[in-house]
């Protein structure tokens, strides 16, 4: 019996260490990525926007038509300090529309730091209906350059917001979907690598209740899955 349980353990750990890639993107393009997010009804939902940029990028502007039932939390869009060189965000819903416009810019000629990762996050209030909602980019463009500016249209990868009734407390259920399986190992490992997965239920993931998420919690999640077989 012991031999049988060791095989999936190795498999799951291998999967765990090779599963930290995000949405597919071309490294030679400039791509804006709306990260998927999961939240509860009548609550708040934080949405992360990534930029994978082959070129230097100074400013980024895009619109997001908000799905029915969602509203933008005023001034909630914030730049990721890890990618900011004095950047700041201007944001708001265009008058008499449901279109959120977000502009990340600065008053210098300095580009955003790095070539990948989250550039900003914004917060929406969620509807009272569960469901899967589209978060799509419109009118995205970016600028770069020093002296003379170049404006270009980046590729975009849209995201979805999944709104559920309740986020359950269930040990090992790090992605808060009510069950414990391999995806929870993936999410826990992503969190360990600083990927900020959404949703992430810290209390469910921190299985040894020491206040940090590390390999011990990932292994304990593997054990939960194995031991119930």
- Using CA atoms, how far residue 115 sits from 126, 146, 192, in Å, is 31, 18, 21
Backbone angles phi, psi at 81, to 5 degrees: -55, -25
- Among 154, 132, 193, 156, smallest CA distance to 64 is for 156
Of 140 and 161, the one with the shorter C-beta distance to Ca ion is 161
Nearest to Ca ion of 113, 160 (CB atom) = 160
**CB-CB contact of 73 with 124 (8 Å):** yes
Q: Is 8 helix (H, G, I), strand (E, B) or coil?
A: helix
Structure tokens at 93: 């819903």
The alpha-carbon radius of gyration of the chain (Å, integer) is 20
Q: How far is the CB of 81 from Ca ion (least distance, A)?
A: 26
Which is closer to Ca ion, CB of 74 or CB of 215? 215
Nearest distance from C-beta of residue 8 to Ca ion, angstroms: 17
Number of residues that bind Ca ion (CB under 5 A): 8
Is residue 168 part of the contact set for Ca ion (CB under 5 A)?
no
Minimum distance of Ca ion from residue 216's CB (angstroms): 6
Residue 214 CB, nearest distance to Ca ion (Å)? 6
Tell which one of 84, 91, 121, 175 touches Ca ion (CB under 5 A).
175
Nearer to Ca ion (CB atom), residue 51 or residue 164: 164
Q: Scanning residues 183 to 212, which ones bind Ca ion (CB under 5 A)?
A: 184, 206, 208, 210
d(CA 65, CA 47): 14
Q: Which of 159, 217, 221, 222 binds Ca ion (CB under 5 A)?
A: 217
Angle at CA 104, nearest 5°, toward 100 and 107?
Answer: 140
Provide the minimum distance between the beta carbon of 213 and Ca ion in the complex, in angstroms, as a whole number: 6
Interface residue list for Ca ion (CB under 5 A): 173, 175, 177, 184, 206, 208, 210, 217
């Amino acid at each position: 019996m012991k031999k049988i349980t060791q095989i999936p353990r190795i498999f799951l750990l291998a999967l765990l260490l090779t599963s930290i890639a995000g949405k597919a993107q071309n490294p030679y393009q400039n791509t804006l990525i709306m990260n998927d997010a999961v939240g509860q009804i009548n609550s708040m939902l934080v949405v992360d926007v990534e930029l994978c940029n082959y070129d230097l990028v100074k400013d980024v502007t895009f619109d997001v038509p908000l799905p029915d039932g969602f509203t933008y939390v005023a001034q909630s869009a914030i730049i990721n300090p890890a990618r900011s060189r004095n950047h700041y965000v201007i944001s708001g819903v265009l008058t008499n529309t449901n279109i959120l416009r977000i502009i990340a810019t600065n008053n210098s000629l300095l580009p955003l730091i790095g070539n990948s990762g989250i550039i900003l996050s914004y917060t929406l209030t969620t509807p009272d209906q569960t469901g899967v909602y589209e978060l799509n980019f419109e009118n995205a463009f970016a600028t770069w350059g020093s002296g003379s500016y170049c404006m270009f249209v980046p590729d975009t990868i849209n995201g979805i917001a999944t709104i559920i009734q309740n986020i359950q407390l269930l040990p090992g259920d790090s992605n808060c979907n009510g069950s414990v399986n391999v995806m929870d190992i993936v999410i826990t490992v992503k969190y360990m690598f600083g990927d900020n997965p959404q949703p992430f239920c810290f209390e469910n993931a921190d299985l040894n209740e020491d206040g940090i998420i590390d390999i011990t919690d990932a292994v304990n999640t593997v054990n939960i899955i194995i031991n119930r077989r």
